[in-house]
Amino acid sequence: MGFTEQRFTVNLSILFAELPLLERPAAAAAAGFTAVELWWPWADSPTPGRSEPDALRKALRDAGVRLTGLNFYAGRLPGPDRGALSVPGEESERFRANVDVAADFAASLGCTALNALYGNRVDGVDPADQDALALENLALAARAADRIGATLLIEALNRPESPRYPLVSAPAAMGVVDEVNAATGLDNARFLMDLYHLAVNGEDLPSVIDRYAERTGHVQIADSPGRGAPGTGSLPLEELLGRLRTAGYDGWVGLEYRPGGRPSAEAFDWLPREGRRPSPHANREAPS
């Protein structure tokens, strides 16, 4: 089962980042893609004024691309932050202020997957207190996602790049998924399975897939080492994605890799142009 059997969506926060934000949707469409995803686009503003979301909404619609995933406010990405919802004080307040703003923006574009990055550990704060704050804010996010018919995604990152982020394994992230679903009773929290992060953590990817595919709401890929395009590292990504489909995952696969010092439009040579649009045999939504 090859790459052309997948449904790919381009992360416009890491690919085409050499372009102004409002030019990226059209660039993705010109490269042959019909779906995109984004980190929260306004890192310094969890509650931007009306003009900025309106302009991005128009750019997406004019390009004819679908927004399939959106991060809640997560601080400075790329940068030292790894989320905000578990960080006491101003950052968690900014996250809370963003929850309905992000959900409403997603709903206006038919986006049904919202990613909530957990946040780094903070010196002088009891991890148990951070975890309690995180659960409270994730429950808030889950309810906002439920209001718009969306899935709440919980992601594991990798320890070498995010040493202060507590969710650095698939079981750790799944534990939080279970806690959120138990707290809300909504059962709309799911695992975001990023194969790059899990590989850097040294996890057994086939076992992770077999164990968690049915409870995965979204998948992201980059090759390892290097976080480049498929084929630039040593991960058998085509094989792993085939295993995911065999295990029952038929949702979107986010391309979240670095273009490698070249224009992003040149970083898709691993994928035939006909494979950049959803296959007619892969037309269902991700599990919710």
**For residues 114 and 139, what is the distance between their CA atoms, to the nearest angstrom?**
13
Backbone φ/ψ region at 119: left (φ over 0), alpha (ψ -120 to 50), beta: left
* Candidates 155, 214, 238, 285; catalytic one: 155
Closest C-alpha to 154, from 131, 170, 140, 143: 170
Q: What is the dihedral of CA 12, 115, 94, 201, to 10 degrees?
A: -90
Which residues fall within 8 angstroms of residue 52, CB to CB, at 6 or more apart?
41, 42, 45
Q: Is 155 a catalytic residue?
A: yes
Q: Residue 55 corresponds to which tokens in the numbers above? A: 């302009």
Closest C-alpha to 31, from 234, 229, 232, 280: 229
The torsion angles phi and psi of 11, rounded to 5 degrees, stand at -80, 110
Q: Is 203 a catalytic residue?
A: no
* Candidates 37, 91, 203, 256; catalytic one: 256
* Catalytic machinery residues: 155, 256
